[in-house]
Amino acid sequence: MRYVFPRSEPRGGALWAATGFSWAPGLAVAVLVLGFAGGCAVRYPTVVPMREQQFRSHDEAVALPLNQEGRSQVANFLEHGGNRFGRNATPDAQAAGHQLILDALGVPGNLKIRADLATSDFCAIATPLCQAAPLFRKRKAVTQVIDARNRQPEVPDPIAVCDDEYCWIFRQANNLLTHLVVVRSVRRPRP
């Protein structure tokens, strides 16, 4: 003898279970798609372009440690908002930090670096400079500096560090920072 029970109507969440619907396959597919899109995306290295003449402090890099003439040229560039040919001075939100950097670049002891380190932490490479110029703390060092004026890449690679508005590009030799060019950053915050 077979007993037949009347079917009752499923309530709330049980309706999904009764129809056989499951979130698991759709959720698994969504996770896989997002995982491949985010994890396998092409990541290009950070690059600092050498800007056009108007937006760099010098045509040829100034020697370090900074003398009075080189310091005044960089300071004038910063006072005009990163426009070397600009006529009007513009307010510099980081003026105090930039003055500390210029002071630090005039001291030969602050120019020692550890060029053998394979890191993107600028302060690990140039510890004395970071101690004297706090604006460089927690900034990335970039060795991919593109200068279209050169026929071949510079050896050894220049080291660039960018604050919010400017990139400071240093040439190096024998574990010392030897030359400097400051360029207005391509990525500037909006006013």
User: What does the alpha-carbon distance between residue 77 and residue 75 come to, in Å, rounded to a whole number?
Assistant: 5
Residue carrying structure tokens 């630090």: 104
Q: How far apart are CA 159 and CA 40, in angstroms?
A: 28
pLDDT at 23: 63
Q: Using one digit for the tens of pLDDT, what is the confidence trace for 30-85? A: 666 666 655 555 566 688 888 888 899 988 999 999 999 999 999 999 999 988 88
Give the pair of three-digit tokens for residue 41: 């995306």
The tokens describing 142, both together, are 């970039």
Give the pLDDT confidence score for residue 117 in this predicted structure: 84
Element (H, E) at 104: helix 95-105
Please state the rounded mean pLDDT for residues 2-18: 58
Report which of residues 90 and 104 the model is more confident about: 104
Cβ atoms of residues 180 and 62 within 8 Å: yes
- pLDDT at position 155 over 90: no
Is a pLDDT exceeding 60 seen at residue 6? Answer: yes
At position 184, the amino acid (one-letter code) is R
- Domain ranges across the chain: 48-184
Q: Tokens 């120019």 identify what position? A: 111
Using CA atoms, how far apart are residues 90 and 81, in angstroms rounded to an integer?
5
Give the pLDDT mean for 99-103: 96
Coil, strand or helix: which one is 69?
helix
Mean pLDDT of 150-176: 91
What is the rounded (10 degree) CA torsion for 99, 105, 111, 117? 40
More confident of the two residues 7 and 73 = 73
Instruction: Identify which of 95, 98, 106, 104 has the alpha carbon closest to the alpha carbon of residue 62.
Output: 106
Reduced 3-state DSSP string for 112-125 = ECCCCCCCCEHHHH
What would the mean pLDDT of 106-115 be, rounded to a whole number? 94
What burial class does residue 25 get, using C-beta atoms within 10 Å of its C-beta: 0-12 exposed, 13-18 middle, 19+ buried?
A: exposed
What predicted TM-score, i.e. pTM, was given to this entire model? 0.74
